[in-house]
Every structure is written in C-alpha cells, then in structure tokens.
Chains A and B, each alone.
Chain A
Amino acid sequence: MRNLLGLVENETLKVVRKKRFLVVLLILLVLIPLFAYGQQTQQERLKAKVGINDWRIQLQQQITDTERRLQSASLSDEYKKVLTMQKEQNRYYLDRGINPAETGASTFTRVFMQFGSQLFMPLLIIVVAADIVSTEHTDGTVKLLLTRPVKRWKILLSKYITLLLFTGLTVMAMGVFSYLISGLFFGYKGWDAPMFTGFSMSGGGIDTSAVQMIPQWKLVLMNYGLGFVAAITVATLSFMVSVLIRSTAAGMGVMMAVLIGGTILVQMASDFPLSKYLFVTHLRLTDYINGTPLPIPDLTLPFSLAMLGLWSLGALIVAFVTFSRRDVLA
C-alpha cells in the first residue's frame, strides 16, 4: 500500500512537471471568458429585441416565437418535439413566476457543464489521458519503469489512479473557473435560485409528474457529478488507447476521431439501432436532470450509467491484460 502511494506520487509529479495539466488549465482560462462574453452579447441582443428588460415578457416572447415556428410545415417531427418541450417548459416556469434564465455565474457554470460534457470536457481529459502511458514508450523510459522490483499491474494501477485524480481536478477546474470568470460578466448571483428538475418526455408530451424544485447550487452539483461520471468513462477509454498505441500523437488522434465521429453519428443517425450502445451517446448524462431532450428517445439514466460502466470495465480489462503481458521490444 505504501508502495502504491509512492507510485501515485511519482505519476502525479510526472504529469505536473510535464506541464500537461497546465495546458488544460490554460485552455479553460482562455476559452471561458470567450464563452461568457458570447453569452452576454446574445442576451443583450435579446433584451434589445424585446425592448423591455423584463424576463416575463421575454419568456412570453420566447413562447410566442416557438409557437410561430411550430406552425411551419417544413419542420421535422423530431425538431417539433424539441420545440414543444421547450415551449411547455417555459410556460411551466412562467406560470409559477420563476425565471429559468436567471443569468448569473451559477447558471453559466451549470450550462457550461451541460454543453461541455459531450465534446469540450472529453477533449480536455484526453490531453492528460492519451499521454499518460504512451509517453513512456515514446520517450523510451518504459524500460527503466518496468525493470524495477514492482509488478507491472501495480505500475499501471498507479497511473490509472493518477489519471482519475486529474480527471476530477479537470471537472472541478471547469466549475470553479467558469463560476469565477463568468461572475465578472454576470455577477455572482443566483446560487439559491429555485430550479425545476425532473422533466422527461413521455408519449410525445412533457411529463411533469416527477418534477421537483431544488436550489440552483444543488442542480449545479448534480450536473458536475454526472459530468464527472462521463469524464471518467472518457478518461478510461483514452487510458486503454494510451496503452495500446505507443505514439502519443496517434493515440490522441484516435480518441478525437472517436469522440467527434461518434457525436456526429449519433446526431445524424439517431434511429440507428446500435447507437444506444455507443458510449458517445451517453456522455450528456446531464440532460436527464436538466430536461433537455435526448438525442435518442426512451433512454434512461440507469441504462446510460450501465453502458458507460460497461465500456469502462471493458477498457480497463484490455488495458491491464495488454500492459502486463506485452513484450517491450523497442
């Protein structure tokens, strides 16, 4: 056990000294202000359109807009469903006098994870994960690492634990940075704003039977919790790729292609029967609690969690078996 702790310390120091995690933090520090600025501009444009800075009128306006669009004949059924749901959700808020778009740093923080968990967060995870094993091969240091009185599986386990550590830190950094930075744009308010969760689609309509009201901070935490689960899956799969492909650049390319390709596939062919077994389909776990319609209907949170769990387990088995058996030839 003491041994394993020392190994994890080694791996952590390597990630830090190689400045991999610093890259992740820098990306966040550059992009979050951009996103926040974009959001702010959009909101001001909306205000200008409505004319009056009153969210009730804004919300009413949005509902009317949506209704008008719904009358268009050229809309696909899929899209109509989405619009209907949005409209009904807005009406629900309006009827109860709750501002769903209470723009504040906390809303931004929540929405950032909601949209980030499909692609942006996985890409950040890959920066650390794709490198963690393959770099030892690329640099030739694997020969020194594996000729110690330590079993190979233990060395790999220490790397995996380190990766989980940095995955958690990445998710946390996303939350903390987006809150602190977006607060400069929107003000640090809205932590305890009442939010609804538990919307779901059933039979083409919006099912409000399970809806409950929770404070915003709770919803934010739930979002980041689910985001972390998705992040672990991406980290584990990248970890396997990092074991299998000895070139860091190639491994990173493979993971990016899988993520982006998978996302496109799920969006283009949502009725493709196999897509509900792909891990990319399930990365937006946050949709289950925010009431955003899912790309494939009839999915449930337990099913998504089970799929992500299975993919991770498979990846771990492949990674550990390969790593402890493989000949180190070059």
Chain B
Amino acid sequence: MPSNKRPAALSVRGLQKAIGGRTIVEDITFDVCEGEVFGFLGPNGAGKTTTIRMIVGLIKPTNGQVQIGGFDLRQNFIEAMRCVGCIVENPELYKYMTGWQNLEHFANMLGDVTDERIEEVVRLVKLENRVHDKVRTYSLGMRQRLGIAQALLGRPKLLILDEPTNGLDPAGIRELREFIRKLAREEGLAVFVSSHLLSEVQMMCDRIAIIGNGKILRVATVEEIVQSEINRIEWTVEPRELAVRVIEEEVGDGRVDLLGVNKVVATLNQAQTAHVNERLIAAGVKLYSVQLQGQLEELFLEITGGDSIA
C-alpha cells in the first residue's frame, strides 16, 4: 500500500494550460511515489491527455511545475526524461520497421542501452517470436506490448501509460494488469496509469486522482473511494417481488430499478449493502449474484454534483 514516506518519483504542482485564452487544465497537483501504481481517472475530454503531455514535455505548461525523479522538467529536461518511460495515447511506432529495429532506434536515442537490455525487455513483454517482423503486421495488443518494451528500455523510475487497456481483449487486460503490478512490486517502479474506467483503475492501482473539467476533484486510495462512496448494486434474485420489498425497506419506496427478468438495481453504501444482503437471505430470496455496476458514473455524479460527463 502507498505510504507517503517513500520518495516521489513524480511531483506535479499547480499545473495549468491555457490555449487561446481557454483554460484546459487548471491547478493540477499530486505526487506519485516509488513502487506505487497511481491511477489518473476521468471521463474523456477531462484533461487527462493534456496533463500527461505536459508531464512528458510535449506541451509547455502555462503555469506550474513538474518534477521527475527530483529533476525539474523545464530546467533539467534531459535528466528528468532519463527517469521516464511513456506511452502517450496509442503506441504509434514506426510501422515500416521491425519491432527490434524500433527498439534499436530508441536505444540509440538513450545512448547507453546494450543489445542484451533490448533482448531482456523483449522477453519481458513476451514478444520474442515476432520481434523481427515489421510492426505493420502486429496486432494492437502486440503494439501495446512493444510500446511498453520501448518505455522500459532505459530502466525508468517512472512509467507513464495513457489508457493502456484501449483495444485490448479481456485476457490482454488481465495480463497487463498483472504485469504493471509486478513492475511496481518487484522493480519498485512508479506507474502512472490514466483511464476512464473506474473498475479498471480500481483493480490496478493503489491510489487514484480523479479529474473532471480540467481540475483534480479528489486524490485518495482505492479503499477510501470504494468504502466511502455509494455504489450502484445489481442483484440477480428470485423471486423478484420479495427482493424489491426487502430492498425498498432499506432505500425507500420507488428507489429500486428493475432490469431484465430477475435483476434489481439500487444505489446504496457498503453498510447498507451488507444489511440488505443479510435480509434477503433471511427472507428466503434466492440470491444468484451481487454486483457493483457503473461505479464511475455514480462517483462522478456524487463528486461533481451532477455535472454532465461523457
């Protein structure tokens, strides 16, 4: 679990970007510690990518400061960038070159990467069989892995992944999740992951920053968010009429929605959920499953006070 005693691999202070008089991102402040997986959560268009581009030096901030591995990005660009490996949006590599040639290209830019290191990262992302094929022939998942390989080449302290699960199948997402957790746990890497899916961030991260309309709304551990927030719960039950009566006793009449033939949905916090589950079983309702549903939406509604989200 995260502890603020660990040194910060990434420190962002009061970051702001205005383009043509319009403020896109405002007062972004947070720290990512070593060995921590940090989620950057927000709907599309909230300013996630703009923030990431400022962190890796693609966009100059109008205001504010970025420190990577203790180096100020503006004053010590080269030292700061030595500590980072990143994928911004899609892993767009040189399609007319092979995976290996791409890695050699980036190794050349770092200056001190050996062929052994290239082989090592290729093994790490399990691309040994295809690394000498042209990237043009790769699937999206393989490109994603090659992207991660190039990010890891220079043994960074901080890994930045922008929407890394985009376009991956469920098996690929699970694999990526485990891979990221392993990097943080075993290599002490700080990993910064952006996403618009709470469920994904919840499973992968230790801490989360939530961004909406260009502002940080909240920074908290995953536990804090899950425990304190009310969730939308979906029960699969039989008989439904009885279940609805039991749940309505807890949340109030008319606040229960029906779904499909045997599903009931309601919004409540953890304590209420536990209570309802007990009562359902006691009342003799057959409880097939209990599921969290659409958490991000609920979370955003609560945090932003009902502002519209994508």
Contacts and interface: CB of A to CB of B under 8 A. Distances in A.
Interface of A: 2-3, 6-7, 9-10, 13-14, 17-19, 139-141, 143-151, 325, 327-329
B67 to A, nearest CB: 15
Given A6-B109, A13-B101, A13-B105, A144 B92 contact: yes
A328 B58 contact: yes
5 contacts: A7-B108, A14-B94, A140-B92, A144-B92, A329-B53
A148 B110 contact: yes
Ordered nearest first, which 8 A-B pairs have the shortest CB separation? A140-B92, A149-B81, A328-B58, A6-B108, A148-B109, A327-B59, A149-B82, A149-B78
Contacts of B95: 139
B110 A141 contact: no
B90 interface: yes
Interface in B74-125: 77-82, 84, 86, 88-90, 92-97, 101, 105-106, 108-111
B236 interface: no
B244 interface: no
A6 to B, nearest CB: 4
A327 B88 CA distance: 14
Given A2-B111, A17-B101, A149-B79, A139 B59 contact: no
B92 A139 contact: yes
**Best-surrounded residue of A14, A143, A145, A146 (most CB of chain B within 10 A):** A143
Interface string B5-29: 0000000000000010000000000
B57 interface: yes
Given A7-B109, A139-B92, A147-B86, 17 more contacts: A10-B108, A10-B109, A13-B97, A14-B105, A139-B94, A141-B94, A143-B92, A144-B93, A144-B106, A147-B56, A148-B110, A149-B77, A149-B78, A149-B79, A149-B109, A150-B81, A328-B59
A144 B88 CA distance: 8
Contact of A18 (B88, B96, B111, B150): B96
B163 to A, nearest CB: 13
A17 B96 contact: yes
A144 B58 contact: no
Contacts of A139: 92, 94-95
B60 interface: yes
A323 to B, nearest CB: 13
Contact of B78 (A6, A13, A151): A151
Contacts of A329: 53, 59
Interface string B45-69: 0000000010011111000000000
A147 B105 contact: no
A148 B96 contact: no
Contacts of A151: 77-78
Contacts of A327: 19, 53, 58-60
Nearest to B160: A147
Contacts of B154: 149
Contacts of B90: 140
Contacts of A144: 92-93, 106, 150
B111 A3 contact: yes
Nearest to B105: A10
Contacts of B88: 143, 147
A19 B97 CA distance: 11
**Best-surrounded residue of B60, B95, B111 (most CB of chain A within 10 A):** B111
B221 to A, nearest CB: 29
B53 A328 contact: yes
Contact of A9 (B58, B77, B89, B108): B108
Contacts of B101: 13, 17
B92 A150 contact: no
Contacts of A328: 53, 58-59
Contacts of B77: 149, 151
Nearest to B53: A328
Nearest to A135: B94
**Best-surrounded residue of A13, A139, A145, A327 (most CB of chain B within 10 A):** A327
A146 B58 contact: yes
B158 to A, nearest CB: 12
B160 to A, nearest CB: 9
A325 B60 CA distance: 8
Interface string B253-290: 00000000000000000000000000000000000000
A143 B111 CA distance: 19
A148 B89 contact: no
A6 B110 CA distance: 9
A62 B79 CA distance: 72
A141 B97 CA distance: 12
Contacts of A3: 111
**Best-surrounded residue of B60, B88, B150 (most CB of chain A within 10 A):** B88
A243 to B, nearest CB: 16
A148 B106 CA distance: 8
A47 to B, nearest CB: 50
Contacts of A147: 56-58, 81, 84, 86, 88
A146 B82 contact: no
A143 to B, nearest CB: 5
Nearest to B17: A327
A141 B81 contact: no
Contacts of A7: 108-109
B92 A146 contact: no
Nearest to B77: A151
Contact of B81 (A2, A6, A148): A148
